[in-house]
Amino acid sequence: MPNPAQPAEKIALVSCMRNEGIFVLEWLAYHMGLGFDAIVIVTNDCTDGSDLLLDRLAERGLITHIRQTVPPGTAPQDSGMDLALAWARQAGMVWALHIDSDEFLLIDAEDPQSHRRITDVIPTLYRADVVPLAWRAFGDSGVTEWQPGAAALERNTHAEPGAEPGVTKFKCLFRVASFARATDHNPLDPLVESPVVLSADGEALSNQSLYQAKSARFRPADIACRARTARLNHYAVRSEDVFLMKNDRGDGQGKQAQTKYHLGSNWHLSCNRNDIEDRAILRHWPATAEKLADLRADPATTAAERSCQEWFTTRRAQVLTPEMRRQWTRRERINS
């Protein structure tokens, strides 16, 4: 097992995306400041031009972009992670964090002076094979229509009060060599005997979730939820229209004919939390804004992002007709 005296271990940030072009640059600019050795984005069947935007970012040496053709009967995120992990092993990555484009890693949320990076946290968790990171749900903050070019970090500043044991879900930072594969929330098929699971604070957790095909929580739930070292801000409902457009995009786990992305659904209600104001992540905004400006200083990047924004505006007008909005809104919400 590695120890803190050994050389720094390479860490990859991995994400599977489809039609996320209007959000890519903010997500990338933010995470580029957190110390990851590589950022890998896997896409499939993009129609908004985000694949071309990511190609340009890859040409600039900022990311690795992997295009995939999803095998029939396979969830896009699962097949995407197969490709990402194969790349990570070949590239010598020791750790991987798999998150979506609406998830932002925040270290030391309760310390307004902290600017620690992932490279500062990893040495304290060297015994772990898996480090679960709790979601913090951020709501739409009253935004009904998204303006392309806006930033979620600035706009969506209202959230749930804190992680709730037994309810809150997790994403995982994990050792690449310890698992054969990974899905949306967890690494799976351990390659080591009795993998060690530690909270971000270094407290021991059960590894039973790693042996379950569909699990997103860890026990003891109270210990898993009380970690303060790191969390994931989850902006699943940036605005009403962005949330509804997920019906058009499709689900990363390949689910069809679902009501998950309907206004008033259980998922919408659980994610659209605006209980308190939480601006902790904005201490990183000056650096993020500076990096955004650097990314957009490249004319080809700016042009590709603008194409994504224009596609979104046009597609939104086509899809979100009054009739479709009614169909994608739960009746009890309409009557309330």
pLDDT single digits (tens) 205-241:
999 999 998 889 999 999 999 999 999 999 999 999 9
Q: Output 334 or 147, whichever has higher pLDDT.
A: 147
Give residue 336's pLDDT. 39
Cα 98 to Cα 84: distance, rounded to the nearest angstrom: 10
Digit-coded pLDDT (tens) for 46-87: 999 999 999 999 999 999 999 999 999 999 999 999 999 999
pLDDT value for 16: 98
d(CA 132, CA 25) in angstroms, rounded, equals 25
Contact assessment for residue 125 and residue 198, using Cβ atoms and an 8 Å cutoff: yes
174-185 pLDDT per residue, tens: 999 999 999 999
Per-residue b or e along 180-194, where b marks 16 or more CB atoms closer than 10 Å to that residue's CB: eebbbbbbbebeeee
Q: Where are the domains of the chain?
A: 11-152+161-335
